[in-house]
Amino acid sequence: MKTKKELLSLKSVVVDFDGFKAVNKFNLNVQNGELRCLIGPNGAGKTTVMDIICGKTKSISGEVIFDKEPITNLEEHIIARKGIGRKFQIPSVFKELTVKDNLYVALNSDLGFFKNIFKFFNKNDKEKIHEIAEFVGLKDDLEKTAQFLSHGQTQWLEIALVVLKEPKLILMDEPTAGMTNYETSQTAELFNKLKKTQTLIVVEHDMGFVKEISDIISVMHQGKLLSEGKASEIEKDEKVKEAYLGHKGITNA
């Protein structure tokens, strides 16, 4: 069962790149079991926020609390071990290995000690690999070498590799970038399944996709939290409309 309690909290976080505050007193509170979408015009600071949470970028002030513990500016590998998993935009799958072997390698690298979201206990690797492959829609491609997967399939394999590590929180930066419409709708379906057991923060440009998957949307602008709410509320918000002026508009953000 998912319990509604605060899992992640960013309090007045500031990131300074040579005098430019890419993130400027930014606040974010994510509950356990939630799928939070983070949107905003280009350059708003979304990726920098993801980098802060996973420890890739350091803040100059403010605080990040994860699972009741401060994790502000800890090293990336320490934060990862505390249960924050991240899918990067650039694929990290082993191109020359099959889907099955990629999953096998991920399963046998570090882990085992995070909370078991898929009830994988008492199952052998083969079962786990089949279960996750089915979950992400790759069960007919287990023997395929990763380099022959489509772009969308490669992204789904990446997602499987993150999920297999059983993090408490998964961060995804523009998971549908470069996907076909069909792949994007498959990915929306996957996220709607994933959010039943998993807490996620998803940065996305595709507003149609965001509407299909999101509970609450946080809108960032110039390093700050501009607005927060359901898709219907966000779309009506004048501040949000204004922030997207000069960009392609919120529906094609």
Q: Which residues sit at the interface with ligand ADP, rule CB under 6 A?
A: 17, 22, 40, 42-48
Measured in whole angstroms, the distance separating CA 189 from the mean position of its chain's CA atoms is: 15
Place of tokens 């790759």: 138
Measured torsion, CA atoms of residues 68, 74, 80, 85, in degrees rounded to the nearest 10: 80
Count, residues near Mg ion per rule CB under 5 A:
2
Q: Which of residues 2 and 25 has its CB atom nearest to ligand ADP in the complex?
A: 25
In whole angstroms, the minimum distance from the beta carbon of 93 to ligand ADP comes to: 23
Told to check if 47 binds Mg ion by CB under 5 A, we report yes
In whole angstroms, the minimum distance from the beta carbon of 107 to ligand ADP comes to: 31
Structure tokens at 13: 């976080």
Cα distance between residue 172 and residue 159, in whole Å = 9
Q: Which of residues 43 and 128 has its CB atom nearest to Mg ion in the complex?
A: 43
175 binds, among Mg ion, ligand ADP, none (CB under 5 to 8 A by kind): none
Q: Which of 152, 149, 145 is nearest to 177 (CA)?
A: 152
43 binds, among Mg ion, ligand ADP, none (CB under 5 to 8 A by kind): ligand ADP
In whole angstroms, the minimum distance from the beta carbon of 139 to Mg ion comes to: 32
In whole angstroms, the minimum distance from the beta carbon of 12 to ligand ADP comes to: 17
Strand-strand pairing, 61-66 and 169-173: unpaired
Q: Which of residues 46 and 86 has its CB atom nearest to Mg ion in the complex?
A: 46
Told to check if 145 binds Mg ion by CB under 5 A, we report no
Cα distance between residue 72 and residue 69, in whole Å = 9
Q: Which of residues 47 and 145 has its CB atom nearest to ligand ADP in the complex?
A: 47
Going by the DSSP 8-state scheme, the letter that residue 25 receives in this structure is E
When CB distances to Mg ion are compared, the closest residue is 47
| DSSP structure string for 195-227 | TTT-EEEEE-S-HHHHHHH-SEEEEEETTEEEE
In whole angstroms, the minimum distance from the beta carbon of 50 to ligand ADP comes to: 8
Contact 173, 130 (CB under 8 A): no
84 binds, among Mg ion, ligand ADP, none (CB under 5 to 8 A by kind): none
Q: Which of residues 102 and 155 has its CB atom nearest to Mg ion in the complex?
A: 155
Q: Which of residues 46 and 195 has its CB atom nearest to ligand ADP in the complex?
A: 46
Query: Phi then psi for 139, rounded to 5 degrees?
Result: -70, -25
Q: Which of 119, 56, 41 is nearest to 89 (CA)?
A: 56
Contact 31, 200 (CB under 8 A): no
In whole angstroms, the minimum distance from the beta carbon of 54 to ligand ADP comes to: 13
201 binds, among Mg ion, ligand ADP, none (CB under 5 to 8 A by kind): none
State the residues that interact with Mg ion by CB under 5 A: 46-47
